[in-house]
Amino acid sequence: MSELKQNYYGSLCTEMYEILHEKAPQDELHFYLSYAEKGKKILEPLCGSGRFLVPFMERGFDICGMDLSGEMLEKLKQKAPDARIVQADLLDYSSGEKYDYIFISSGSVSLFTDIALCKKILAKLKEMLAPAGKFVFAVDTIADRCENDSDYKTAISVKTEQGFDLLLRSKNYYDEETQTQFSPAIYELYNGTKLLQSEPMDFQTHLYKFGEMEHYLKEIGFTTVKTYSSFEKERAVDDQCDMFLFECSLG
């Protein structure tokens, strides 16, 4: 199973995601908007249901999105029928276009727990970048690890538009050697006590140490890498923050 398939957002997962994360957090949105310029070509891989892409469109930016999840892209199309989107695996995607700005939000790069695969994806995105372009993304850090659980617990419960109960039951296990957070989950849709639908998900993320990703980015060929610990662009000095934000360029 590929890592993109492994962390694939199915129908119940997508529905819960939309209920909880319909709009982008304003501080995160403004961080990614700060790199955008009118008339420049922008790409958002792993765009999901468009909580960042749609605000970029509304502000008149030339943006294209890409995601593997058809369920997520269907939600995006409902919000923005004119959105330019591609359903594809990042590694299989081929385009002659070069982009002035590429960004991946919300720590999604951490989903690539196979570091060799992650490097291939980062190298692919570097090749899609215009000479003076910027690549900006976030990853989760080892400070964001969860406590280990022995059993599944109900982590989230929400009401759907139809009045059904949508539950997320999950557990966590952290592997120190590979720095992988394993979070197997089961989404369940109930009408009262009747189970209508169940959807398993094998969610995994790689949690980064300070200096780890910087080494990979330099190895791939990015010449300038800035590491931030917050959306206010405070420079990271260790891995005691919950995320790293990277600003990468070729010159």
Q: Within its chain, how far is the Cα of 160 from the centroid? A: 24
Token couple for 174: 């952290």
Query: Is residue 89 within a helix (H) or strand (E), and if so which, with residue range?
Result: none
pLDDT at 91: 86
Q: Are 80 and 54 in contact (CB under 8 A)?
A: yes
Whose CA is closest to 136, among 38, 42, 63? 42
Average pLDDT score over the chain: 92
Of residues 21 and 119, the one with the higher pLDDT is 119
Buried b (16+ CB within 10 A) or exposed e, 131-145: eebbbbbbbbbbebb
Q: State the Rg of the chain over Cα.
A: 18
Distance in angstroms (rounded) separating the CA atoms of residues 213 and 245: 10
Inform me whether the pLDDT recorded for 107 exceeds 70.
Answer: yes
Q: What is the DSSP letter of 68?
A: S
For 124, the 3-state DSSP assignment is: helix
Q: Residue 195: which domain range?
A: 144-206
Same domain, 46 and 152: no
Token couple for 224: 């300038």
Same domain, 86 and 126: yes
Inform me whether the pLDDT recorded for 113 exceeds 50.
Answer: yes
Inform me whether the pLDDT recorded for 1 exceeds 90.
Answer: no
Same domain, 136 and 195: no
Inform me whether the pLDDT recorded for 3 exceeds 60.
Answer: no
Same domain, 175 and 235: no
Of the chain, the percentage scoring pLDDT greater than 70 comes to 96
Terminal CA-CA length for the chain? 36
Of the chain, the percentage scoring pLDDT greater than 90 comes to 78
Overall domain count for the chain: 2
Token couple for 251: 């010159």
Distance in angstroms (rounded) separating the CA atoms of residues 29 and 56: 9
Same domain, 201 and 224: no
Inform me whether the pLDDT recorded for 7 exceeds 80.
Answer: no
Same domain, 111 and 228: yes
Inform me whether the pLDDT recorded for 4 exceeds 70.
Answer: no
List, for residues 22-73, the tens digit of each pLDDT value.
Answer: 788 999 999 999 999 999 999 999 998 999 999 999 999 999 999 998 888 9
List, for residues 138-152, the tens digit of each pLDDT value.
Answer: 999 999 999 998 899
Same domain, 107 and 53: yes
pLDDT at 2: 45
Residue 35 sits in a domain whose CATH number is 3.40.50.150
List, for residues 172-214, the tens digit of each pLDDT value.
Answer: 999 999 999 999 999 999 999 999 999 999 889 999 999 999 9
| Residue 109: half-sphere exposure toward Cβ, Cα within 13 Å | 29
Residue 57: phi and psi, rounded to 5, are -60, -45
Same domain, 33 and 93: yes
Q: How sure is the predictor about 95, in pLDDT bands with cuts at 50, 70 and 90?
A: confident
Whose CA is closest to 87, among 77, 104, 103, 73? 73
Same domain, 152 and 49: no
62 has which bridge partners?
Answer: 41
